[in-house]
Amino acid sequence: MKAFVYRGPGKKALEEHAKPEITAPTDAIVKIIKTTICGTDLHILKGDVPTCQPGRILGHEGVGIVDKVGPAVTAFKPGDRVLISCVSACGKCVYCRKQMYSHCTTGGWILGNTIDGTQAEFVRTPYADTSLYPIPEGADEEALVMLSDILPTGFECGVLNGKVQPGSVTAIVGSGPVGLAALLTAQFFSPAEIIMIDLDDNRLEMAKRFGATATVNSADGKAVETVMKMTGNRGVDTAIEAVGIPATFELCEKIVAPGGTIANIGVHGQQVALHLECLWDRNISITTRLVDTATIPMLFKTVASRKIDPRRLITHRFKLDNILDAYDAFGNAAKTKALKVIIEA
């Protein structure tokens, strides 16, 4: 089969690869219909993710058709159409019991990381019963690819952890795909205001179309003053960090209101300065989270009932044969205005 393989920092290839086999009774083999590329895949290609070694097939998102199942799989059978969670969950360990699947003691984010992933014609998915989700008849499968990772990430790490509430004020720092996923799902809770902050006017324009009530281009270094003025000098109830660098996290520290929450989504590569000399008495919370994808079933329902349209995140489409072009488009988002790219296997 064809597969997209990481070949060491800066190196990647679309290669011929052996089809995966069932190796544990709880495995399934899934024929990929559609997959996509995540910002994390770009990090891997740069060599920033040491758990992922050369030779690995990348990809942790996608929809497909069950091809084979191991003898202990009871929820799925060959022919079933499924959504693949980016997180594999054994369903039994102390973390899975409390739906903290991200920290499953034998699973978690392993697909396209420590085991081969979804950017291929077939993938082996461990713990199929608790890591795949049935796609209802007639559902828009392309839209559902957004439920493997990006929508639950924005929703769980940003919106739920950030306690977005009706009438509250939310700021989202970072208007890339993940920030926009938080923007879309924040609207489930009807906040009064969603202020989107970024350096790129194009992305902010997109954010307005996605439901932001205000946008702030922070290039002028005055984002804090602007947000404080917008909020009557009170600050925001929820500040969602969706970039992953010190400057954006510290911006969140400065705009969060007393009693508010900073919900971190960003993947950080270095420490940040936590200004406890200002924050110790501000009654705030700071949260971090690797997506658990525990809300996938709930998100299915919001898609089915048209509370949200995940297709709005999809800007480009490619065939698996042209996945290198897909990486080019996704990797040059500033130029191509790519958000999420669909790859058809």
Q: Give the footprint of its own copies on this chain (CB under 8 A).
A: 25-26, 71-72, 74-75, 91-92, 94-95, 97-100, 102-103, 129-130, 165-168, 187-193, 213, 244, 249, 258-259, 264, 266-277, 279-290, 292, 294, 297-302, 304-305, 307
The CB-of-240 to its own copies minimum distance in angstroms stands at 13
The CB-of-16 to its own copies minimum distance in angstroms stands at 34
The CB-of-219 to its own copies minimum distance in angstroms stands at 23
Question: What's the gap between Cα 332 and its chain centre?
Answer: 18
The CB-of-319 to its own copies minimum distance in angstroms stands at 33
Give 33 or 253: the residue with its C-beta nearer to its own copies. 253
Give 13 or 94: the residue with its C-beta nearer to its own copies. 94
Cα separation, 319 vs 343, whole angstroms: 5
User: Any idea which residue has 């978690």 for tokens?
Assistant: 108
The CB-of-318 to its own copies minimum distance in angstroms stands at 29
Q: Is 259 left (phi over 0), alpha (psi -120 to 50) or beta?
A: left
Both tokens of 162, joined, read: 């950030």
Give 169 or 345: the residue with its C-beta nearer to its own copies. 169
The CB-of-59 to its own copies minimum distance in angstroms stands at 19
User: Any idea which residue has 């072009």 for tokens?
Assistant: 325
Cα separation, 162 vs 168, whole angstroms: 11
> Which amino acid is located at 229 in the chain?
K
Give 294 or 313: the residue with its C-beta nearer to its own copies. 294
Question: What's the gap between Cα 47 and its chain centre?
Answer: 20
Cα separation, 304 vs 71, whole angstroms: 32
The CB-of-155 to its own copies minimum distance in angstroms stands at 9
For residue 38, give the 3-state DSSP assignment. coil
Give 72 or 219: the residue with its C-beta nearer to its own copies. 72
DSSP state letters, 135-201: PPTT--HHHHGGGTTHHHIIIIIIIITTT--TT-EEEEE--SHHHHHHHHHHGGG--SEEEEEES-H
Non-local (6+) Cβ contacts of 287 within 8 A are 157, 161, 162, 261, 262, 263, 264
Give 3 or 296: the residue with its C-beta nearer to its own copies. 296
Residues 67, 31 contacting (CB under 8 angstroms)? yes
Cα separation, 216 vs 197, whole angstroms: 5
Give 14 or 189: the residue with its C-beta nearer to its own copies. 189
